[in-house]
Amino acid sequence: MTAPIFLGIESSCDDTSIAIINDHGTILANVVSSQITDHAPFGGVVPELASRAHLRNIPTVFEQALAQADLNLDQIDVVAVTYGPGLIGSLLVGVNFAKSLAFGRNLPLVAVNHIRGHIRALFLEHGDVPLPALTLIVSGGHTHLFLVEDPDHFVLLAKTRDDAAGEAFDKLAKMLDLGFPGGAIVDRIAQQGDPKAFAFNMPRFSDGAADYSFSGLKTAAAHQLRRNPKAFADRDSQAVADLCASFQHAVVRHLLQRVKHALKVESVASLLLGGGVACNSHLRQAFTALGTERRLPTFITAPVLSTDNAAMIAAEGRHLWHRGQTANFDLNPEVRLNAYDAVRYLTGR
């Protein structure tokens, strides 16, 4: 085989995506088919609808990816697929598509962890970043703070104990009837609001752990709404903009609180930010400012590589394939798959 070509498949939640990268990590195709219109009427992802939509969309997404890369099937050398964590019905579609493809074409199959994919997206885009890297991955399903010690060794420092950061944005948007998915909408509306208009207490745990928690912030927002429903009835009102801005400010403050704490106890060479919530304008700004203040090189994925995409899955697949880590055809999805090699929880403040 000359330089291999990698095809990545992502279907863990509500985006059907297939990407093709070459062995230099150049993205030849990255097709993402969003299911927003399927789920929008329900204000959140409906698992059964997601799985049916993946089934409907995956053949077209596959054809589009090959066309975008200007390649035919004979030119694909390795098939990589997300096998967890995620929604079981959604994962099954991608895993079975990948298995059939690899089996039918006699190609190696690589099983990819979705969250490790989000981390690999940072390397795909920014190359060899200085390690160890303090890495915040924030999405609709996950909020994790890792210390990436080397390209294969990820230490978990903090995680959310309830909602993920993106989920919190989505729930606020649902409460205010702003639309789905909420993160980008809240971000836009927050530009017109006052981040100091409403006070939010920072989450704390009685056991002293420095983990994340977003359900308290969501409850505090719901409380404001209950106190004065009329003020928030009009989505163009100043009250809605102020609540969005204050909530976003609190979420970002909480996210960075743990990052700052980790910087006190771990010695790091760079700061990394990825996952769908890395699209948030205030978070990008605050994270970059922290990096500048601490004189740490700071890297954030571009929006297209922040939200779910298969380029990051192909990139992680390429990394694993070079290490000889291929999967068997009895591969099954793992709904609750961990992304770390070790745990060293932060404590204190």
Site for ligand KG4 in 277-316 (CB under 6 A): 277, 279-280, 307-308
Identify which of residues 43 and 276 has a Cβ nearer to Zn ion in the complex. 276
Task: State in angstroms the smallest separation of the CB of 45 from Zn ion.
Answer: 12
User: Residue 43: left (phi > 0), alpha (psi -120 to 50), or beta?
Assistant: left
The reply to whether 125 sits near ligand KG4 by the rule CB under 6 A is no
Is 148 within 8 Å of 154 (Cβ atoms)?
yes
Stretch that binds ligand KG4, among 63-71, 125-133, 273-281, 288-296 (CB under 6 A): 273-281
Is 268 within 8 Å of 148 (Cβ atoms)?
no
Identify which of residues 308 and 316 has a Cβ nearer to Zn ion in the complex. 308
The reply to whether 90 sits near ligand KG4 by the rule CB under 6 A is no
Calpha distance 205→246 (Å, rounded)? 22
The reply to whether 90 sits near Zn ion by the rule CB under 5 A is no
What pairing do the DSSP bridges indicate for beta strands 270-274 and 27-34? unpaired
Task: State in angstroms the smallest separation of the CB of 274 from ligand KG4.
Answer: 8
* Residue 146 interacts with, from ligand KG4, Zn ion, none (CB under 5-8 Å by kind): none
The reply to whether 197 sits near ligand KG4 by the rule CB under 6 A is no
Identify which of residues 268 and 287 has a Cβ nearer to ligand KG4 in the complex. 287
Binding pattern to ligand KG4, positions 136-155, x when CB under 6 A? ---xxx--------------
The reply to whether 169 sits near ligand KG4 by the rule CB under 6 A is yes
The span from the first CA to the last CA of the chain, in angstroms, equals 53
Task: State in angstroms the smallest separation of the CB of 169 from ligand KG4.
Answer: 4
* Residue 10 interacts with, from Zn ion, ligand KG4, none (CB under 5-8 Å by kind): none
Task: State in angstroms the smallest separation of the CB of 275 from ligand KG4.
Answer: 5
Q: What angle is formed at CA 296 by the lines to CA 149 and CA 346, rounded to 5 degrees? A: 50
Calpha distance 200→214 (Å, rounded)? 11
Is 27 within 8 Å of 311 (Cβ atoms)?
yes
Is 212 within 8 Å of 143 (Cβ atoms)?
yes
The reply to whether 15 sits near Zn ion by the rule CB under 5 A is no
Calpha distance 121→103 (Å, rounded)? 27
The reply to whether 183 sits near ligand KG4 by the rule CB under 6 A is yes
Query: Rounded to 5, what percent of the chain is helix, strand, coil?
Result: 45, 20, 35
The reply to whether 308 sits near Zn ion by the rule CB under 5 A is yes
In the chain, which ranges are E strands? 5-10, 15-22, 27-34, 78-84, 109-113, 133-138, 143-150, 153-159, 270-274, 298-300, 342-343
How many residues interact with ligand KG4 (rule CB under 6 A)?
20
* Residue 317 interacts with, from ligand KG4, Zn ion, none (CB under 5-8 Å by kind): none
The reply to whether 35 sits near ligand KG4 by the rule CB under 6 A is no
**Could you tell me how many residues make up the chain?**
349
Identify which of residues 139 and 280 has a Cβ nearer to Zn ion in the complex. 139
> In what side-by-side order are the strands of the sheet with 270-274?
298-300, 270-274, 133-138, 143-150, 153-159, 342-343
Please pick, from the candidates 33, 57, 113, 139, the single residue that binds Zn ion as defined by CB under 5 A: 139
Stretch that binds ligand KG4, among 100-108, 145-153, 179-187, 330-338 (CB under 6 A): 179-187
- The residues binding Zn ion (CB under 5 A) are 139, 308
By the criterion CB under 6 A, which residues form the site for ligand KG4? 13, 139-141, 166-167, 169-170, 181-184, 187, 275-277, 279-280, 307-308
